[in-house]
Structure 1
Amino acid sequence: MEKMISLPSKASRQSYIAKALPERLSRLGIGGVLRQWVSRIGILLSVNDIQSAYTGGFIQVPRVYVNWQSKVHVLSQAIMRSGFIWIYLIALSKCLELLKRQTALDSIRELTIITAVGYVFFHMLLWESESRYGQAILPLLLVINTLPIQETKSQKVQEMQSRLVSSLRTKLGPFIVCLIVIVSNLVNWHGSAGQIIAAQRSQLSLQYHAKETWVEPGKVVSQQMVINHEATTFSVAVPQGSKLSGELINYRTKRYYLLKYGLKAGSSALRYHGKIAAGSYKIFLVNKDSQMQPVEIVQTVNYQLSPYPVKMNAQTVRFASLVYKATYSNRKV
């Protein structure tokens, strides 16, 4: 993906893929391709982070709620995972039962199953796989789960004959399913990296080259934000290689926190690690270099991303915001 993005034109990408794709298929072989497909389905149907929002976090966490935030996160994590696992298992059992009976499907159920399977194969073969895309098949699964399975007379007789044999399985079934749900939660459990106290994380995906705003030498970019609870880390996104200097300044006490560059997962940011008291703050970025420097500013059309807009050299830029995040962790900083 990174190589494809770095190529300058469509023609160069087509030339590259025409050579690279056969080489990769030859290297993977049939077994490798099958493993890739299974892996993509696993990612699509994963429930590891299903309770998390796409952008994640409050713009300004309510002060009353912050003490309960981590407990609510853990509870919602368990509920969302368990609910989706139950829905997947019920849909799978319904489909297996239909295969066993070999009865004709009603048109609604048939269309629903074909659509769900086609959606999964579309992401497996063509489109990217992300767990958030897997949530889109939830309405289809609910239709599959709620429609009754029609029974013929011969099937009813067979069921009466096998009822005694299946009674034990009926009793053990819910226990086994509950055990699968609990184990799945424990195996895939992950703690929160920190409570989000304040954030504005809406931005264009980096893989599509979000447009950069250039700051002239000596010019300033600033934005107000409010932290309703003590924070232990703060970061503001800047493009990799930018030489902007940054500070987080408390409006009331005038105390400032020096933001330093950190590199993580291929994207850079100006960060501060340490205790930051609750209060009203100004994010202050200045270009002290002799060359123009880039900064990430997201601007929309008539849509307010954050409570306070960006200011460039004291001039307000409506419906624009920096990309920032303040988090709290009770671990030692």
Structure 2
Amino acid sequence: MIKGKPVMNILPLLLSGGVLIGILSNIIYPKNFWVSCLVLIGCVLVWAFWRPFKLLTKRLTYRQITLITGAGLALIFLFQLLELHFFPATIYHDPFRVIYQAELLSRGHYDWGRTVYFWRFPNNVPITYMLAEWLKVTNVFHLTTNTAIHLMSIGFLDGFIAICLRTIHRFSKRNDLVLGTLLFFLCSPFAYTYYLQVLYSDLPILFCLAVSFNIIARWQQYQRWEKWLAGPTLFLTIVLGQLIKPNLIVLAIATVLIIIALLIKSRQRLVKYGLPLVIVLLGFAASVPAQAGVLNAARFTNNPKYEVPTTHWIWMSYNPQGTGKYMFNDVQTEARLPNKAARQAFLKKALPARLKQLGPVGVVKRWLQKAAILLNVGGIQQAYTGGFRQAPSWYLNHQHRIHFLSEVLMRVYFVTFDSYILMKCIALMKRKQSLTVPVMDLAILTALGYLAFHTFLWETESRYGQAIYPLLLMIMALPTPVLQYPAWVKRPNSRQTLTWGAAILASVVMVLSVIPLTSHKRVIVAAQRSQLSLQFDAKPTAIKAGVEVHQTITANHAINDFTVQKIPHSLVQASLVNQKTHQKIALVSGNDNYYTKRALPAGQYQIRLQNNTDKAQLVSLVKMQRYRLAPAPLKIGNKSYPYSSLIYTAAVRPTLNQ
């Protein structure tokens, strides 16, 4: 507790520690000295130019800001459409399994046993059911599943962006913060990569948090009729969020603590904010029967043979050989046990053993490691995407530089943003009264809940940490005590010196480092990597004797690394045929893949799988209902399947002379 200050001031102190870890993580990781220099220089440039930017934007009227924001949102939408048209990504792992099952449900096929995935991880059943209901609507209009998913992604993503911008504009009254945030959404990969291409639970939870906190913060400003609309909206948003992402429960805990604090410190404010806070708790209470209703409507039944206990995730996060992230070996270890009860008995001994193996120092190191991963944004844009299905040649020639610059841009923004939040936390630590703006304390407490959950208990991923972003935006928007900066910071000469110095350093570092930073990385030229995975007992496809399976791919760049997924022990022969020269390249038959490492020129190629044996053989195919997996259809014999595909990757791997 800070001497002479309210007890609640300990919350911004704790949050400042988490934010500081995020700042250091985004500066340092991934470890590369020159990239870290560029990130730091970028942050200095943002800081140096922020004052003139603030003075420039301060002249703009409310109407002008609204028009600029609207134009920015329109541009974002246009760029998103161009991205989806020219750069469709191949989606894999959990999000694809959700799409696959949702398609089946939308067409009345309630078979959850195509793989054991949902029996092992039933937490994704609600989002699958939600997507299936949406597909039922879009099926009426004969839309493909791709279009339906993109519409939902854009709705959640652009809705989130619009709400955030409106929240900042309404509560901060600062044009520079509004337009600065708009520039980030417009120019960074945030709105054009993972959240746009992949529909999964991370995006809806951002939307739900933004909507919920916006309603709570505005509650006192609503007229009576607006409250009648806002109340049910808040209730349904909480129910939806809890169904999709159960760790939203940290908001329920934070809400209870805030109600208790208001009951003790300020009953007058409890009267003002009590109703929306109670609605939040009612939403969480209603999510329990709602989940049972969803499971019943989806005709899903848990299967103890495959289900993993909750403590599995805690045990996995403390693997001494890991970093706190998902560990496939741990999943395999538990999968070999006969049922959930056996896994619980195993974990009862295995979890304490792991903690003992790490020791107190190792456990603390793991906490810091998990927090650093959670708050790092360097790799979010590639999450769950296995490259583009067919990237244009001009992009492939510059892919490394584009990825490098976009990663640096994301890191610069979040280091700058987190630094601003750190300053806000320091200002909040000095306040003489707490709970003057209860939604501020609620946002801080919820953010701390997310940090604690993934740092101390659960596995961690960078995308999980994004859940605190709308909470930090709310903290940024709400007023706080004025923090006095040192006099030298405000001197124009100091700013000019830092600006020019940073610009010169940036030029030197760019010249010295861009080439080594952007070389020696594998480039995916064309790919189709969506699959149900053999690890979840996905069933292979049998093709009769003498049958040929083929599919055309287009490589817009020379390649030297080509693979097609294979079923182990299958006797099917594979080859790659250049459609222009008709040259046939026999693919080497490995255990899991057919492959070639030969250098091949850009052009169209046909993948051919031939069963030259006298009996049926197994091949690895993906068959969808109306979800287009690849630019060209799969052909089995003379029959074409536009929504089916082989699993392949055409890439350029670095050579020794690069």
> 1:282 Cα shift?
1.4
Q: Are the counterparts in 1 of residues 549 and 610 from structure 2 also a CA contact under 8 Å?
A: yes
Distance 1:124 1:208 in 2: 28
Q: Are the counterparts in 1 of residues 520 and 654 from structure 2 also a CA contact under 8 Å?
A: no
Distance 1:3 1:98 in 2: 47
> 1:196 Cα shift?
2.1
Please state if 1:54 is matched with 2:384: yes
> 1:274 Cα shift?
2.4
Summarize the Cα distance change of 1:44–1:212 in structure 2 as closer, same or farther, 3 Å threshold. farther
> 1:59 Cα shift?
1.0
Distance 2:590 2:487 in 1: 61
For residues 160-213 of structure 1, give each alpha carbon's deviation from its aligned partner in whole angstroms, at most 9, with x where no partner exists: xxx6xx2236678996xx89xx99xx9xx6756222211122234665454443
Distance 1:122 1:109 in 2: 20
Find the partner of 2:561 among 233, 244, 251.
233
- 2:370 is matched with which residue? 40
Distance 1:277 1:190 in 2: 22
Identity in percent:
38
- 2:487 is matched with which residue? 167
Distance 2:626 2:528 in 1: 17
RMSD: 3.5
Distance 1:80 1:205 in 2: 32
Deviates more, 1:310-319 or 1:207-216: 207-216
- 2:630 is matched with which residue? 306
Q: Which runs of 5+ in 2 are unaligned?
A: 1-329
> 1:26 Cα shift?
2.7
Q: Are the counterparts in 1 of residues 577 and 584 from structure 2 also a CA contact under 8 Å?
A: yes
Please state if 1:249 is matched with 2:577: yes
- 1:66 is matched with which residue? 396
Please state if 1:22 is matched with 2:346: no
- 1:148 is matched with which residue? 479
> 1:305 Cα shift?
1.5
Distance 2:518 2:538 in 1: 30
For residues 239-284 of structure 1, give each alpha carbon's deviation from its aligned partner in whole angstroms, at most 9, with x where no partner exists: 5565543222122222122322568xxxx43222122222221122
Summarize the Cα distance change of 1:75–1:312 in structure 2 as closer, same or farther, 3 Å threshold. same
> 1:149 Cα shift?
0.9
Distance 1:210 1:144 in 2: 45
> 1:55 Cα shift?
0.9
- 2:640 is matched with which residue? 316
Give TM-score scaled by structure 1 length: 0.77
- 2:586 is matched with which residue? 258
> 1:331 Cα shift?
3.3
Distance 1:132 1:242 in 2: 38
Distance 1:207 1:128 in 2: 20
Summarize the Cα distance change of 1:53–1:315 in structure 2 as closer, same or farther, 3 Å threshold. same
Q: Are the counterparts in 1 of residues 560 and 653 from structure 2 also a CA contact under 8 Å?
A: yes
Deviates more, 1:318-327 or 1:283-292: 283-292
State the one-letter code of the partner of 1:145.
M
Find the partner of 1:284 among 568, 591, 608.
608
Find the partner of 2:446 among 115, 140, 143.
115
State the one-letter code of the partner of 2:395.
Y
- 1:87 is matched with which residue? 417
Distance 1:232 1:133 in 2: 35
Between structures 1 and 2, the one with greater helix share: 2
> 1:112 Cα shift?
1.8
- 1:136 is matched with which residue? 467
Summarize the Cα distance change of 1:118–1:245 in structure 2 as closer, same or farther, 3 Å threshold. farther
Summarize the Cα distance change of 1:246–1:62 in structure 2 as closer, same or farther, 3 Å threshold. same
- 1:224 is matched with which residue? 552
Give TM-score scaled by structure 2 length: 0.42
Q: Are the counterparts in 2 of residues 55 and 202 from structure 1 also a CA contact under 8 Å?
A: no
Summarize the Cα distance change of 1:86–1:132 in structure 2 as closer, same or farther, 3 Å threshold. same
For residues 69-107 of structure 1, give each alpha carbon's deviation from its aligned partner in whole angstroms, at most 9, with x where no partner exists: 333222212212212222223223322331243542422
Between structures 1 and 2, the one with greater strand share: 1
Secondary structure of the residue that 1:199 maps to in structure 2? Answer: strand
Secondary structure of the residue that 1:39 maps to in structure 2? Answer: helix
Distance 1:280 1:42 in 2: 44
Q: Are the counterparts in 1 of residues 431 and 481 from structure 2 also a CA contact under 8 Å?
A: no
